[in-house]
Chain A
Amino acid sequence: MTSPSAYGPIGQSGLKALSDIVGPGNCLSQPLELELYSYDSSPFIHHPSAVVIPGDVPQMCQVVALCRRHGWPLTCRGAGTSLSGGAVARRGGVMLSTTRLNRVVEIDLVEETVLVECGLVNLDLQNALAPHGYMFPPDPASQKAATLGGNIAENAGGIKGVKYGITKHHVLGLELILDDGSLVRTGALLQGHEHNGPDLTGIFLASEGTLAVVARALLKITPLPRSFRTVSAVFDDLSRSGQAVSSIIAAGIIPTAMEIMDRRLIAALEDYLHLGFPTDAEAMLLVELDGLGPELDAQMDRIRDLCRKAGAVSLGQAATEAEREKLWLARRSGNGAMGRIKQGVIVQDVTVPIERLPGMLALVQEVARRHDVIIVQMAHAGDGNLHPHLLYAPGDEAEYGRCLDASGEIFAAALKAGGAITGEHGVGLEKVAYMGDQFTEAELGFMAAVKLALDPTGILNPDKVLPQKYQPLAGQECG
């Protein structure tokens, strides 16, 4: 990893300056330590030159300001569970770990909001809200590790997206650190008269750390449903499970969650959790409804009916809360369980409009056959978000190459169907190459202008989201 001329090296005096801000114990620069901050949950490995773990917002501001002053690249990291390479330091420089800023600052039950620090783990937030009868609906599968800062940067989705929406829908205001280290507030965190002006909260959601650093966020909280019904339907054909989903939506029912798992995923999860999943089924559909209680059974009957009509070979229902939790633990462990099949994984995150889902599921199966690769499928079926997992043995170059080809075909098919290349994992490093397929030059140019406005020196998470020629320093660098 070489530092192009546009970025400054850190050096001993730089390390001292960082150390003075966060304390020597919270500034890591030994090779071994940097090794352990060189990865996230994606296949990308890049080493930072220094890692700082600040203890409060003022320290964060000082770090950012220092990076700006010296031209050091700055990459933020929460739990380091990005699937698209969002938390790797592509250009080295400073990695800012937010993990110590993990407080629930204030829960307000009249405003129905919660103010959180960026390093708070999503599940810890849920656990803090539950005793008050509230939840934060975006619940990505990685919630037991992922932080709110990361959720906001990637606009995390989760299993409840189809009914409750995704992270964007629940962020009311932000406390942001701009590239010069200044702290600004947006949205509901504005004071008084500042409200009469544009609300620029939105542009930072899903900005993947490339426009500003989120320090704290004001989030909307939602009452916890009092009652749940969870149904599992087994199919002998994957795309029929997709058709069941379409028919449920066409019938005017919006369940809380609709998740599809394919045969290999079911087998891997059964191997892990031993829940009695049918390992010979082609697909399993999990549907959950939530609400007050009385209104759920009628809807559940209709859902079961629709599943049967779509060809379900068997139906089951979670009888207890423990059973329900086990089902969702299984679903959330999907990505992690891939290690049981093969160790190399390319995780895709394409979305298609709802009516195209069955066709897309079948297409991915066909692509797998034609390229002779294993593709394990799971999907947030209710919002058309698929997660094909293309598997390869590390070291098998040929197999990896076939996976890349298959992956490209899937992207193209999703775009052709009117979808998007990423639903919730972010563009990061992984999908930068495909941005040109999804967007026109004018569109990328407009986004580039936004990036230039907020990060003219290109230090905030460089090389992510936008292709090289749209990054602020394009043309200033040698390579």
Chain B
Amino acid sequence: MIAYPNSQSQASQAFREALAERKQVLPFGLGQSLGQMVEDRHILALSSRDLPAVVSVEPDNLLAVVGAGITVDGLDRALAGTGLYWPVTGPHGRSLGGIMGHGLLGAEAMARGTMCDWILGTTMLTPQGEIVSSGGRTLKNVSGYDLTRMCWRARGSLAMSLSFTVKLVPRPSVCPAMEFKVRSLRAAAGHLEAIIRERLGLQALRLVGDKDGLRLVAWLCGFPELVASQEERLKGMLGEPSDLFEDGFEYFNHSDAIFSEGHGLAKVFAGPRKALLGVAGSLSWIGEYSFVLDLGGGRIAFRDAPGPIEAQAAKAGLAVISGAVFKAVGPLFRRLKASLDPRNSFLVL
């Protein structure tokens, strides 16, 4: 059964009813990761999609209060004209709640960290069906425990996010994405490491391989003088860019689709940069499958890659993070789950 409450109290209500009927609850946003779960009678799939999308936009406080079901695009539209944006670009079809629950990254993770770093506060539904808030409306806030971060990558197993107070920043004056052709994977790995050591402060640094060939991608954001200076250093290392896209946001919204597609379409691995560079250097890539190596975000995604790729990635120290199911649940999580949700009200996939 699926429910689309259109207020927080309705969500709480639906939750309590499910509990009373001994159903388990599966929070979701827009349903990309749901799969077969919706068919199960003993499960209530509870969506944030119809919760009020935009509660407030406060440019003077550099914040906005939004429903967990809003998408990054939706948030972007709400911020039009303010000169501000939320620096999590890419997983554009996903709800913010889904991004939180699956631990999805923005394209600018290298410079901006994860979504958690851009949430000032969260209102959530507890396993007892109560509505609680954590954090608030200020950057600095250490009163009590950080329940927002408790939900990161937890797939709604400990609480369900209902609304977020998001922290905003001014849009950069210029934000080009630049592509540089590279000869080989080994050369690419070398370049990537050298660029890191230059400490340029890039927004994103990628290596892309598809039928159009191998290319290094850099995202530069900021004041024109800063970007010009970064551009010059990159050109000094890599030569002239093969392509330049003035609107980096559009570019990465498009290219990051591979990371946030639902399970089955792409395999995503995560791990330390050295492991990623190692994989890049050793891939037997012949253009028949495509990949995006996001050095800043610490992940690599493959599409249509042959089987042994997984083994190669595992051997290099990477972990699979795509897929609907938790692969590892440690003692720490079990303790929290047992105390916060003794009745197992939230389904753990």
By a beta-carbon cutoff of 8 Å, the part of chain A in contact with chain B is: 109-112, 133-134, 154-155, 157, 161-162, 165-166, 168-169, 178, 182, 184, 186, 188, 192-203, 205-207, 211, 220, 223, 246, 249-250, 252-254, 291-295, 298-299, 351-355, 380, 383-385, 418-427, 431, 435, 438-440, 442-447, 449-454, 465-466
Contacts and interface: CB of A to CB of B under 8 A. Distances in A.
A302 B318 CA distance: 47
Contact of B340 (A207, A211, A443, A449): A449
Contacts of A420: 136, 138, 140-143
Contacts of A438: 143-144
Contact of B140 (A157, A202, A203, A439): A157
Contact of B139 (A198, A355, A384, A439): A384
A111 B335 CA distance: 31
The 6 closest A-B pairs by CB, nearest first: A202-B149, A453-B339, A423-B140, A196-B327, A294-B225, A223-B199
B157 interface: yes
Interface string B197-232: 101110000000000000000000011111011100
A442 B130 contact: yes
A477 B332 CA distance: 27
Contact of A109 (B171, B197, B201): B197
B132 A351 contact: no
B138 A351 contact: yes
Contacts of B335: 453-454
A383 B139 contact: yes
Nearest to A192: B319
Contacts of B339: 449-450, 452-453
Contact of A427 (B142, B199, B326): B142
A193 B132 contact: no
Given A165-B117, A354-B60, A355-B61, A422 B143 contact: yes
A419 B136 contact: yes
B59 interface: yes
Nearest to B201: A223
29 contacts: A110-B193, A168-B146, A168-B149, A186-B332, A192-B271, A195-B321, A196-B328, A197-B326, A197-B327, A198-B153, A199-B153, A201-B149, A211-B145, A249-B60, A294-B228, A295-B223, A351-B140, A353-B137, A383-B138, A384-B140, A422-B143, A424-B142, A442-B128, A446-B126, A446-B147, A450-B145, A450-B150, A450-B339, A451-B145
B331 interface: yes
A205 B329 CA distance: 20
Contacts of A295: 222-226
A229 B224 CA distance: 18
A195 B140 contact: no
Interface string B330-344: 111101101110000
B315 to A, nearest CB: 10
B170 A202 contact: no
A139 B177 CA distance: 32
Nearest to A431: B143
Contacts of A223: 199-201
